[in-house]
Amino acid sequence: MVSTTPAKMEYRYLGSSGIKVSVFSFGNWLNSNKQEDYEITRDAIKICFENGVNFFDTAEVYGNGNAESQMGKAFKELGYRREDLVVSTKIFKCGAGVNDSFLSRKHIVEGLRNSLKRLEMDYVDVVFCHRPDFETPLEETVRAMSYVIDQGMAFYWGTSEWPADRISKAIELCTRLNLHKPIVEQPQYSMLWRSSFEKDYRRIFGEYRYGSTIWSPLAGGLLTGKYNSGVAPEGSRYDVHKYLDPIWSKWMAEDKKEGTVTKLRALGDLAKELGFTQAQLGLAWAIANRDVSTCILGFSRIEQVTENLKAIELYQQWNADIEKKVRDILGNDPEVDMDWRKWSPMPFRRDEAQKL
């Protein structure tokens, strides 16, 4: 099958590497448990690929390995060239054994081998350490990640939800030991969740050209517009998946609901004014920050795929006026550090990364 690359899709380098990824990508965390999830995964991959998406993300912990199996099966069924795909998985936990989790050399090597079997692939393009492991020596972890690259099991490695100082330490350790350095972080980033990305990571983005594959760009669905009343509609994610209650409470607890709903409704009005959906506004805002290498999308319904990918059209129209309108609505710019040479606050990292 010949790959298609619509002109409207944008591609960015993944951190300091030479590999390019589409600004929107697909991750199948939401589609990893039921048999019908396979059809959503397969059909979502097909639509994404036909619209220029080339980056696909999964993890060993998603569905306890089932997500990797579904993604691998879908690629086989669709018949895409491996060279046209950039595939990542994440190592942290899969199984109940005492050594089936965290970031020991044993679990990294065995875990990735098992992931490749489920994916039916010889290698992944990127393997992530899914969460930091503060009990395993960092040197053991970075040596193991460098080893799997040397063995041809992956081309690059990265981190996910690691503190910035841990990432810096890993990079410096790899440099000193002549190992393959991590190139990319997979953090949460959205209009409602900004501080860690824009404030804490600014130096690893600036100094190391570290990449990012962001997740939850719609804040678990809160930015889609369906929750603008402050109530979770029947059958919605926050109604069905009760384990998400802590996320709901973070923004929709009684003492926070009024402020959140006011912002959500204003965002909805702005999106309508621009001729797009509220979800498309949230996604375009995320990729307007060029510290974002790719924005991972997840879908509970196949109809959402095309709708969300249309956010690229709003992104291509993004300008300082839209940015200011969103900023005024959100009112949540992260606190900036001081530039002591000038004795004044540093510029917002988001402003530096946009270059509007």
Q: How much is the average pLDDT of 129-137? A: 98
How many C-beta atoms surround the C-beta of residue 67 within 10 A?
A: 28
Pairing between β-strand 211-214 and β-strand 294-297 as defined by DSSP bridges: parallel
Residue at 197: amino acid letter: F
Find out whether 238 and 220 touch, Cβ atoms under 8 Å: yes
Task: Kindly report the average pLDDT of the chain as a whole number.
Answer: 94
Which residue among 62, 156, 227, 315 is the active-site one? 62
pLDDT(152) > 90? yes
Q: What is the pLDDT of residues 244-298, one digit of tens each?
A: 778 888 899 889 999 999 999 999 999 999 999 999 999 999 999 999 999 999 9
Residue 81 has a CB neighbour count (10 Å cut-off) of 10
pLDDT recorded at residue 142? 98
What SS3 state is found at 157? strand
pLDDT value at residue 6: 43
62 tagged catalytic: yes
pLDDT category at 178 given cuts 50, 70, 90 is very high
Could you tell me the two tokens for 281? Answer: 């506004």
Percent of the chain with pLDDT over 70: 97
Q: Which segments of 171-282 are extended strands (E)?
A: 184-185, 211-214
| Structure tokens belonging to residue 319 | 């300008």
Report the distance separating Cα 3 and Cα 83, nearest Å. Answer: 10
Rg value, the chain, Cα? 20
Residue 2 pLDDT more than 70? Answer: no
- Residue 267's pLDDT is 98
Question: Is the per-residue pLDDT at 216 higher than 70?
Answer: yes
- What pLDDT sits at residue 7? 44
Q: Which amino acid is it at 33?
A: N
Which domains are seen in the chain, by residue range?
Answer: 9-186 (3.20.20.100), 220-288+301-356 (3.20.20.100)
Per-residue confidence (pLDDT) for residue 356, from 0 to 100:
66
Residues 6+ apart with CB under 8 A from 107: 91, 99, 100, 101
pLDDT digits (tens, 9 = 90+) for 11-68: 999 999 999 999 999 999 988 777 778 999 999 999 999 999 999 999 999 999 999 9
Residue in this structure with the two tokens 């949540």, named with its chain if needed: 332
